[in-house]
Structure 1
Amino acid sequence: MSELPAMSAELVPEETELAALQRSHALLSNFSRCLPGMFYQFRRYPDARFCLPYASEAVETFFGVKAEQLREDASFMFAKIHPDDLPKMIVAVRKSFAELSPWHQEYRIIADGQPDRWVVGDATPERLPDGSVLWHGFLSDNTERKLTEQRLLAAERQRSLVMKASNQGLYDINLQTGEGSFSPEYLQMLGHDPRDFAHPQQFWDYFWGTGVHPDDVANLKHAYKAHAAAKGAADYHAEFRQKNKAGEWRWIMSLGSIVEWDSKGKPLRMVGTHIDITERKQTEEMLRQNQELLESNKNRYKELARELEILITNAPVGIMFVSDGVIVRANKALAELCRFPDAQAMIGVKTTFLYQGPEDYQAFSAQVTPGLLADELVELEWHLRRFNGESFTGRVAGRALPTESYVRGAVWMIEDVTEQRGTLDALRTSEQRLQRLMNSSLIGIIQGNEAGQILDVNDVFTQFSGYDRDYLLTQDSAWETLLSPQDLKICQQAYKDLIQTGTTAPFEIMLLQSGNTGVPILVGLSHLENSERGWVAFAMDISDRLRMNRLKTEFISVVSHELRTPLTSIRGSLSLLESGVSGVLPKQAEHLIRIAHNNSKRLITLVNDILDMDKLASGKMIFRSEALDLVALVQNALELHTSYASSLKVNLVLDHHPQQAWILADHDRLMQVMANLISNAAKFSREGETVLLRVFGKGPRYRVEVRDRGVGIAPEFQEHLFEPFTQADGTDTRQKGGTGLGLSITKAMLEKMHGQIGFTSTAGQGSTFWFEFDVYR
């Protein structure tokens, strides 16, 4: 192989339009090698000169001459056409030239020392700007088909002679009775012995019963009816399949004629012969398949050529074909990239304009030539120039073209990656800046994959863990070292929740350091950007926060217990005084005692609620799970709070419930929930109103509703209703009393028992609070 230049060499001044046209289509030679026949372009000039700008390698097989010899003058080719066929050829070419109509011709090519070759040519013309016409065509070898036709004609003549000189397969049928006779040769043709049928009628019963292929019976009858209707003007002729003794289907040709008619013109007798034409049918089928294959290949070639043209023309990257350093074909994207007015303007231009100078071109050539010589794909990035002198970074990919069609040729794809290169550089800078930010953060950051492997950590997390970065990134068992089995399960469950729902709540775990000491951390887990399975975790040391919470909890617990003892004594003393144990008190003193007694009860309620919140927060409140009849529990709660509701002049009514509703819950805690909901509903209802309680099934759950007809809850306050120390702002609400902890405690208790709570409310119309539990079966 001669040296292949990269993308340029000296431009041949004598480069002609014909040569450029030839090279622009040379890529099709790669397809022509795989398909039978010859692909060509035939050009006829107005002065009647003609040439073949392009011809595939098969031209040598057909005409005994190389394609290069016909590119300037194709007269030698016409000398190879059979003299009997040449006049029709010339007439057809002239007609196609004048009318620009498709050309089709069947003719013979003279071969030295060999039989003539039959060929079929098809071509489509197009008018060129100079007035010449260029045909794009395909020439296929038709010799075998012609020989087959000749053999068929010979066989047909032989058949006629056999019919005249032989009685093989003869039959004679009485059309009135259905009885008939046939020659022994007919049975032998089907592999039968005359002894297989004791009487001729047995054969005809077999013939019409199972002997003839069911798909051919209708054709046989139709052929007979047509012959009978013609009154002997045409012979009877039918072809059908008949089963031989071995069970194989043989093709039979039946020829015959009605030879006797009665006085009324009704057929009486018919004679004829049956001939085995299986081999002829097989030959015809093979010929048909070959013809279909040829047509399919021709159509496939045309489709491939069309698709290739569309691909090159509409490719988003620049594409050019280079031969001997000169561009012979280019697409629109390359013209725009290199600042040419259009792709046609690039044809014939040397590619040296793409380089910074001769030395740059030599360096590029030295780098790509080994790959081109090895017929390998060459890919690299190179600092290139546009035709107007602007510089850009190009991604270049190329491969050598066939040497029989191109001189040191190659096809190249060029893409401007200047912005991409700038983006990548900026991305690297950003990643370096991000790494510095990660390491300067006060929060530990861990990045990992689906398998749990740690891919990156920042310096803060290495300080939390007490292990260096290399250990954490290389040890498969790092998590087993860092976490207890229980905390490891918590992390795994959090990752499952993240994959299934797209989010997971922050969670607390204990990070085991290398010195066997533990650091409590709060972990937030999230998806890694642009990754469905990758994750990133943020870890915060919460040692100080836990210590403060513990001190706060201990303080609340101590203060609450210390307050409850004296408050209980004060409440008892005030209760005795209010009941008159010390005698009748003055009205002013009695009023003050009542106020003090009521406030002491509110203080005790507040202290009890604070203690309940503390127990719930610290996990010290114990919940028992037992089977409960929700209907009985609601009825019991209603009876216990009827007197309280009556004191507020409010009625309690259970107006709907099933016979039973079994759930799993803690009886005492659920009674406390009912107490909070019923007392709130009664407290915020108007005098004379009724609080409705309902129990009903809702799918696989039971629901309890407590509905009042009070003032309702303002929309802006509803989202904060279950928060601790929260009460609706308003004079009427404040007068009702309460700690603002009841609903928060209720919600926490229900969730601890695996229940749910919610509400609906309309200002001025009242509120409905509900809670649900799964049905216990």
Structure 2
Amino acid sequence: MRDTSNQKRTEAALWEQAERLKSIIDGTNIGTWEWNVQTGETTFNERWAEIIGYRLEELAPVDINTWLNHAHPDDLTESGARLERHFSGETPFYDYQCRMRHKSGRWVWVHDRGRVVSWTDEGKPLMMYGTHADITEMREQQDEAHRTSVQLQAILDSATGVSVIATNPDGLITLFNRGAQRLLGYQAEEVVGLQTSALIHLGDEVTQRGRELSQLVGREISGFEVFVHLARQGEPETRQWTYVHKDGTRRRVNLTVSAIFDRQGTLSGFLGIASDISELESTTRALQESENRFRGLVANLPGVVYRCESDANWTMRYMSDEVASLTGFPASDFIDNRVRSFSSVVHPDDLHITYQSVAAIERHEKFELTYRLKHVDGHSVWVREQGRGEYGANGELLWVSGFIWDISDRKAAEDALRVSERRFSGAFNTAPQGMAIVDLDGRWMEVNDALCRMLGYSREELLQLDFQHITHPDDLAKDLALLQQLLEGVIADYQLENRYIDKRGNVLWILLSVSLVRDALGVPLHFVSQIQDITDRFEAEKRLREREEYLSTLLDNVIDAIVTIDESGLIETFNPAAERIFGYAKADVAGQNVELLIPEHYRDQHDEFLLAYRESGVPRMLGKALELPGLRRNGELFTMELAVSQITLQGQRRFIAVVRDVSERKRIERMKNEFVSTVSHELRTPLTSIAGALGLINGGALGEVPAQMGEMLRIAQSNSQRLSGLINDLLDMDKLVAGKMTLDLHRLKLWPLLATAVEQNQPYATQHSVTLHLKPPPLDVEVRVDRQRFDQVMANLLSNAAKFSAPGADVEVSAALAETRVRISVRDFGMGIPEAFRARIFGKFSQADATDTRQKGGTGLGLAITKELIERMAGAIGFESVEGQGTVFWVELPVEQHP
């Protein structure tokens, strides 16, 4: 009887444990199966049937054919191959992701994993247990749960990339996974049951860590205890260690050692995980036979596994430690709601979302929620929760199990994407330049208003076209070639100047920038184009090039030498005229100092000028025309007229020297001077005698002259006087130009000077039947002038006014103050000055018409002499004229201030 009772208690405990594990597995939404490989008899749980859209009773009776009939035909071969490899011992597990036909006719993805747990006496597989998980959502919605699915799959998969070693409390190895085999080179059977810390670790590292721990706790820590000391106290420890491979090679690893406790809190062993945590799945599956190992698995899930009661407070009975990373509070705070309830850390604004689970639980459906948790440090954590109710035999709710994981990164990415899309949309629609999204065939997918305005099409019209339609035929090939390079990944983007043809047929020059958008897998999606109308710039550049060509042609054909030099005096450009004048080719002088063209005697002055200009910035030579000696290549000296100006090019000063060879002009001037001297000495003296003699004869000094002869003599006397005046004007002009005329300047009252001038010139005006008037009121000012030369100026102005006035007309003389100067005006009412003659009226020998010399008389030098004299007296001269109404000549002189 006692034996029977013990057996029943044991069976009850096993049944309870099995039910508990079954409930937890049901809470994780995983189907299970048991398969008698020899008979084909198969057992599925309800979840297995739900995954393919059935209730389990709809599939009855079930056997292995139930699975085969719903499996995708294309997956059966690989599935069979994997089973054979497992049966033959090549793989520790059967593991395969395949497709199964849903009741609705669609295919769902499932992940089957299992292993043989018993064998026949003949060594054939007998019983095989496994899990059956719906992974359709993972396959179809990787954006939403990618990280979680990868981590869960890694934990639940074979840990080939991670070393996982489990021991009992004494350090004897009970588990040595394939990752450990690969990492360390040992087979499991070589080390299971052994204590191998000395075998796979460097002794020096273990000894050193032992010393540190011994000093810390005040007692000796050595051997295996070095690795598990902190873990025994419930503190997992992660450290870097050196693993020693079986062949003696060494590898650095991150080793996390944690303790494994059973439900009663009793230490049942230790778990050491090195390297990739994703490989833990296969290792932890090997530990599913015990609750302690299951708890170790849950502790490494990238999220929170929980179970709560169905009471009014939803009292938490289990919550994994990962809740601390989501809330900042340890899991123990939530167990039995000791310190706080889970709802207390749900964001107040999201509490109503969690209530949605109630309705799903009442409908016996799983629920999925997205909401925020309040972390203890104040920030919010976005989480996703999946769960379902677990029910008793009578359908009553027993508890709720589920999984909660952090989706903050995904939410941040989604928010950033929405912001980015809004920004892109705003920038796209309001951009001042044209923008377009173009599909891989060249058709416009989207265009902005600026591009429509640019091309003259409506948006609807453009979306019916492709970019090839508007690209100039001569530019299409190079554009397509660059697009192909984009698609092939040769270039990331490109920019080129292209021609488009607008709706009206006009050619537009555009600057085209194109980039390629790819999806997460690198597959090309579409092009993004920016189009800027540069027609105006292109036309401006074209005009600039034409202008440059024009200027280049002009410089190449001017008769003056044009030389540019930099701040150091080095020659940069040398036009053909410069080559002709100096005798050098451009290639011979480029980069040479300009002193090459200057006689040696003047080179020091040139250097001093450049140095002083660089230091002071005062341009002593700029803007002036200077006569200097130049030096030809053959050593010949010549006189050149030099004008220097400055320009700034790219922030650097440059000097432009315009050189004219005036050797011939100087020779002519010498001849002119010789001619003037001849006129002065050889003509003036005898001409004076002739004019005097004719005057005596006409005056009757030799008796009465016959009438006919008298007329001839008067003509001769008049012409000799005109010739004498011409000689005097020539001599005056020569003195003025040569700077040899000396002025005797005095401070004189202006009004008496004007009155005298009018009085002295009235007889000449009377000969032309013209009256001179000095208009009042009198002006009481003084000017500094040479009286004789001032009288000459007034005589020239008044005689001209009289000559060019009609008989009976008046000539008006007036004076008016203009601030510190006085303006003297001589007005006539004649025919005025022709427009074509005004620009040269103050030139030497200038007359409006050649006939004026014969009709009006004069040398054509009067106004030129007048201008020179007035300017020598610090004055200015000018005129205003209206054809048919007369002319006003004016002279301005500085007013002398009273002391």
Which structure: larger Rg?
2
Question: What's the TM-score once normalised by structure 2's chain length?
Answer: 0.42
